[in-house]
Structure 1
Amino acid sequence: MAEQGSTTERRAKLEECYKRLLDCDDKNEMIAEINTALAVPAPVGSPGTLELLGKRYRTQSKSAEEVAVKVDQVATSGLPEVWVGKSGVAASEVVQAAARAAQQMTEALQKGGNALLSLSDAVDDAQKLDETGRGQLREALSILGAEDGFFDNMVDTDEEEDAIWRAGTVAGAGVDKMRSAARSADDAARAAARDLNKFASEARAGKMHTSGLSAADKLALADTAGPDGPAEMNELLSANDLERSGQYMEKMCARDRAAFDKMLADSKSPQERAYLVKALAAGYDLNAVSEFQGKIHGKDPAWLQRHLTPVTTAADSMDNEGRAKDGRNNNTDDQAFNGERWSQDGNTCVPSSTVSARAMVDPVYALELTGGPSGQEDDPEAFRDRLGAEQQRVHDEGDGNYDYDFPFSRHPDGMDNDGKTTVVDKEISPHTGASYDFQETRSADARRDVLPDIEKSVAEGKPVPIGVEGYNKDDERSGHAMMIIGQEGDMLQVYNPWGTTTWVSEDDFVNGRMDKASDNRMPDAYAVHLPAD
């Protein structure tokens, strides 16, 4: 049996076969191409099993919806502060978190069921279309007959030329059906994987495996969001944060665990509590977390979000407002601290995107940049100075290039991909637990193939560095570094170190329209750094 390969690989092989068949007028070459196409495995999967699972998910969603309605009624009726969990979580917080979790579960089961049913239909249709195409290829082989020998191939009669033409027409139609089937199966498989991975990552409370916190505590922590923007798009703790913090808590000795539990219980807001957990997840020991607590204790949620969360997602951030003359999306959100953007100084897109990405996953580091040594500063100019200094430090860490203005000065002038690998592994990996693997994506197929891994990573809370490029009419290259930091449906949220975020579609990423997140000089995503599991 032939190796299955990925759906994208099968798709690419059939595309190549189709192109070669269009130009083929030699009998033996045509037979070889037809056999090559027939050797490509058919779309795999059991439509019946997928349909059964999809229907089961949708049935379960109805039960979950009944629970969601009942919990929501309790949440909206108001509760006295009669109970507090181990981490200081009040009853009202728990019930509100439970209501939202029940609603998310309902949505996940409903949409997950729909995704499986759509995949079932797509696989069924693709398998039928593929088999029809294979039948046409076998018909073409019967028209051609056996391969010609050396002397047979010297001159073709009119009858033989007619047979080759008829066989080519039939074979072309057959491979066209097979490649259409492969495209449909590939697109459906990636869409289902994207949606199911997203739903799995949103079951965040279950990622926190630690015996010291109750289910209610975990639920409330997973539900905590910043005060600005929609809660579901601005949750403070990712699936990865909750998993790592639970692991660290389990490793603590009894005394340290009691001290950390007290920090959580003493927190003045759900957000303060969540940032302490995020600091632990970022890899800091108890002493560092305790020092961090001393700087943020009692601060209101808006102060915490401003100082500790570099990116806030607005409710209208995904609206399609068209494109500017230079190709970028009109709908971009500035990401700033008191009006000063999280943006690059000079030609430092790699270190700048890396610094900002680290600040997204490491609140202790974010506070060092925004709040200074004391953690209490609110000065945008001082923030700008510290941010620029960090960008310079990381530029040197990655052995970045310089443009020299002798004898007076030098200026950062970009960084190669080896340097980029170095800095993301040194700056981001220790705080997410995932090292980065460099992967070139210089074709639509390569970008399409890597999409599920990108989406799974960002859904878990691990930013994905990407490189974009383009060439002008004189073949002069422009390049830039950005970060994919979020995903909703078939849309990707991109942070640009010019200090903005915007959304692009999967199709934009695959087919060379990343200028929407930068400008029309750089449309193609040529490389990614993928977090390794």
Structure 2
Amino acid sequence: MADAGESTTDRKQKIDRYIGDLAAADSKNAVLQAIDNLLAVSAPVGSPSTLDAIARRYKSQADDAADVQQRVEKVAASGLPSVWVGSTGAKAAEVVGAAGRSAEQMAEAFRKASKALYDLSDALTSAQSKDGDGREQLRKARTMLGGGDGFFDDMVETDDEEADRKRAQEIAGTGSNFLYYAAQEADDAARAAARDLNKFAAEARAGQMHTDNISAADRLVLADTGVYGGPQEQNELLTANDLERSGRFMEKMNAQDQARFERMLADAKTPQERAYLVKALAAGYDVDEVGQFRDKIHGKDPYWLQQHLSPVVTAGDSKVDEGLNDDRSNKNTDYQWFGDKKWSQNGETCVPSSTVTARAMVDPVYALELTGGPSGQENDPEAFRDRLDDEQMRLHEEGDGSYAHWWSDVPTGMDSDGQNEIANSEISPHTGSSYEFQEVRGADERRDVLPDIEKSVAEGKPVPFEVEGYDEEGRHGHQMMVIGQEGDMLQIYNPWGTTTWISEDDFVNGHMDKASDHRMPDAYAVHIPADR
């Protein structure tokens, strides 16, 4: 019976190993053993008809959502009363606009989910057919060979017996290749479906916020709010994780704190200000601390808020393939600035720098400490750069980073224990997920970890990873962060102060130089967020 718990990668690796055994077999019994091992590997599991039925249902729901979108847009076009506001200050126009965009996104998500399931069904049908053909060939080869030889029979093989064995071996080889192709097809399709469905689930954003303390309309507007400076759909201010955590924290508030927090939201001057207050709550700050943060940002315009509270903005053309530079890095690379200073490392502090920026992405209170200083009102890039350098060195010490000499103050990197330690001390408290270190030195290992990476970043949890390469100068190593995902593309933050997009294949097959340079093509370790 097929083992549904066995991963598609495990099946593929077993088949690959047994194909090698079959090719190397030089006796009848060895061929029979290899065939039996191949037949024992489970076939691709799943029901294409069930997947088709779910896909049809999603297609119908996409049509329903599109109908809702059209009706909402008619309401928006007909004019809205300006006097109505939600319980936290969301105006009618904001709510209706958010509802229209939410319905549009829902329709798109259902359509894409339907397509993902149809694609999976087609691939599974094809894989199961190939697998069946392969097993038929293997059984044919086994029948040709008959029973196994006894001890003495196996010691001597006649010319005729050798010819029979080789014919059976050839037929079994054809069958085993069919099994491998089937496993590969099922593996690729399962990963693509998991990636897309995880992304669509995370994008059901307003539904992540489980609280009755604010209205459904207000939750819709919060989920729809984008960071200033880029396309809204690529720069959602509140992640799925932010919405889930903030809703949970609101439910735990006493009546007094609930009233105070709702008043802060209602008094916010812009949707962005309101959303940053929710993000601060999600980052783990209590109502008093959120109130202090609110006093520093109240009334600021969306551009000021972005500059001081969101280190990374994704440009609308950031995924356009513009080719490679001479050092094999992507030409289409965006710098991330505060004024005229980059969010970048100083010296060999890639790990602390990645960690600082990742924390600033999930913790706006911390981001403001770096950009706005103690008062939160500064707008001085030079002072920001000084604070950023100091913070990088603090984390370098915290992670027991190395130095050029024992008396030196020049950092030269950090080992994996230190990397994981500072990720857990600096990022985890503000996302609720601890980091687990995992080596991924082979293509299959990197392919295996992709669904976990993509699920994490879809939820709003940055994923640190390490790259390396070797040349005549020796080993080169670096840490970067996966911070976004769209389809089969991953958005990478490089602590040189840049962001760019690479493909899943780039990550798997040693082309991470596109996000750095020719010296460091291979991802070899990741730090995966795991629920506490």
Could you say which residue in structure 2 is the equivalent of 1:512?
A: 510
Distance 2:180 2:87 in 1: 57
Look up the SS of the partner of 1:134 in the other structure: helix
Could you say which residue in structure 2 is the equivalent of 1:498?
A: 496
Give the superposition deviation at 1:469.
Answer: 1.1
Q: Report the AA paired with residue 153 of structure 1.
A: D
Is the 8 Å Cα contact of residues 2 and 43 (structure 2) preserved in structure 1? no
Is the 8 Å Cα contact of residues 349 and 392 (structure 2) preserved in structure 1? yes
Distance 1:342 1:459 in 2: 22
Could you say which residue in structure 2 is the equivalent of 1:58?
A: 59
Q: Deviations over 1:11-30 (max 9, x none)?
A: 12112222333333332222
Give the superposition deviation at 1:80.
Answer: 3.2
Could you say which residue in structure 2 is the equivalent of 1:319?
A: 320
Distance 2:134 2:96 in 1: 56
Look up the SS of the partner of 1:80 in the other structure: coil
Could you say which residue in structure 2 is the equivalent of 1:445?
A: 444
Q: Does 1:21 align with 2:22?
A: yes
Give the superposition deviation at 1:82.
Answer: 2.2
Look up the SS of the partner of 2:413 in the other structure: coil
Give the superposition deviation at 1:405.
Answer: 8.0
Once the two structures are overlaid, the 10-residue window that deviates more, 344-353 or 465-474, is 465-474
Once the two structures are overlaid, the 10-residue window that deviates more, 18-27 or 370-379, is 18-27
Give the superposition deviation at 1:167.
Answer: 1.4
Could you say which residue in structure 1 is the equivalent of 2:154?
A: 153
Look up the SS of the partner of 2:525 in the other structure: strand
Could you say which residue in structure 1 is the equivalent of 2:433?
A: 434
Q: Deviations over 1:356-406 (max 9, x none)?
A: 000000000001111111111111111111001000000111111111285
Q: Deviations over 1:329-371 (max 9, x none)?
A: 1111101111211111111111110010000000000011111
Give the superposition deviation at 1:422.
Answer: 0.5
Report the RMSD for the aligned CA atoms in angstroms: 1.3
Could you say which residue in structure 1 is the equivalent of 2:359?
A: 358
Look up the SS of the partner of 2:238 in the other structure: coil
Look up the SS of the partner of 2:526 in the other structure: strand
Map 1:252-271 onto structure 2 (within 5 A): 252-271=253-272
Look up the SS of the partner of 1:530 in the other structure: strand
Q: Report the AA paired with residue 490 of structure 1.
A: D
Q: Report the AA paired with residue 8 of structure 2.
A: T
Give the superposition deviation at 1:202.
Answer: 0.6
Q: Deviations over 1:226-279 (max 9, x none)?
A: 221110000100010001001111111111110000000000000000000000
Q: Does 1:101 align with 2:99?
A: no
Once the two structures are overlaid, the 10-residue window that deviates more, 20-29 or 292-301, is 20-29
Give the superposition deviation at 1:37.
Answer: 1.1
Give the superposition deviation at 1:150.
Answer: 2.4
Is the 8 Å Cα contact of residues 355 and 422 (structure 2) preserved in structure 1? yes
Could you say which residue in structure 1 is the equivalent of 2:482?
A: 484
Distance 1:417 1:154 in 2: 52
Look up the SS of the partner of 1:404 in the other structure: coil
Give the superposition deviation at 1:78.
Answer: 4.0
Is the 8 Å Cα contact of residues 338 and 371 (structure 2) preserved in structure 1? yes
Compute the TM-score of the two structures, normalised by the length of structure 1: 0.97
Could you say which residue in structure 2 is the equivalent of 1:274?
A: 275
Give the superposition deviation at 1:76.
Answer: 4.1
Q: Report the AA paired with residue 263 of structure 1.
A: M
Distance 2:201 2:194 in 1: 10
Q: Report the AA paired with residue 219 of structure 1.
A: L
Look up the SS of the partner of 2:438 in the other structure: strand
Map 1:96-495 onto structure 2 (within 5 A): 96-404=97-405, 409-472=408-471, 476-495=474-493
Is the 8 Å Cα contact of residues 199 and 455 (structure 2) preserved in structure 1? yes
Distance 1:185 1:49 in 2: 16
Give the superposition deviation at 1:144.
Answer: 2.0
Look up the SS of the partner of 2:229 in the other structure: coil
Among 498, 516, 524, which residue is 1:526 paired with? 524
Structure 1 unaligned runs (5+)? none
> What is the identity percentage for the equivalent residue pairs of Structure 1 and Structure 2?
64
Q: Report the AA paired with residue 164 of structure 1.
A: R
Q: Deviations over 1:110-162 (max 9, x none)?
A: 11111111111111111111011011111111122222222222222111111
Distance 2:346 2:114 in 1: 47
Is the 8 Å Cα contact of residues 2 and 45 (structure 2) preserved in structure 1? no
Once the two structures are overlaid, the 10-residue window that deviates more, 396-405 or 445-454, is 396-405
Distance 2:180 2:79 in 1: 58
Distance 1:306 1:214 in 2: 29
Q: Report the AA paired with residue 454 of structure 1.
A: I
Look up the SS of the partner of 1:212 in the other structure: coil
Give the superposition deviation at 1:77.
Answer: 4.4
Once the two structures are overlaid, the 10-residue window that deviates more, 278-287 or 1-10, is 1-10
Look up the SS of the partner of 1:531 in the other structure: strand
Distance 2:366 2:196 in 1: 32
Distance 1:206 1:96 in 2: 17
Distance 2:166 2:469 in 1: 41
Q: Does 1:84 align with 2:85?
A: yes
Q: Report the AA paired with residue 504 of structure 1.
A: I
Is the 8 Å Cα contact of residues 15 and 176 (structure 2) preserved in structure 1? yes
Distance 2:99 2:257 in 1: 29
Distance 1:232 1:381 in 2: 32
Q: 1:63 to 1:19 in 2, by over 3 A?
A: same
Q: Report the AA paired with residue 360 of structure 1.
A: M
Look up the SS of the partner of 2:410 in the other structure: strand
Look up the SS of the partner of 1:81 in the other structure: coil
Q: Report the AA paired with residue 251 of structure 1.
A: K
Q: Which runs of 4+ in 1 moved over 4 A?
A: none
Aligned length: 530
Q: 1:54 to 1:248 in 2, by over 3 A?
A: same
Distance 1:402 1:265 in 2: 50
Look up the SS of the partner of 1:518 in the other structure: coil
Look up the SS of the partner of 1:477 in the other structure: strand
Give the superposition deviation at 1:483.
Answer: 0.5
Give the superposition deviation at 1:491.
Answer: 0.5
Look up the SS of the partner of 1:87 in the other structure: coil
Distance 2:36 2:291 in 1: 67
Distance 1:216 1:511 in 2: 45
Q: Report the AA paired with residue 498 of structure 2.
A: T
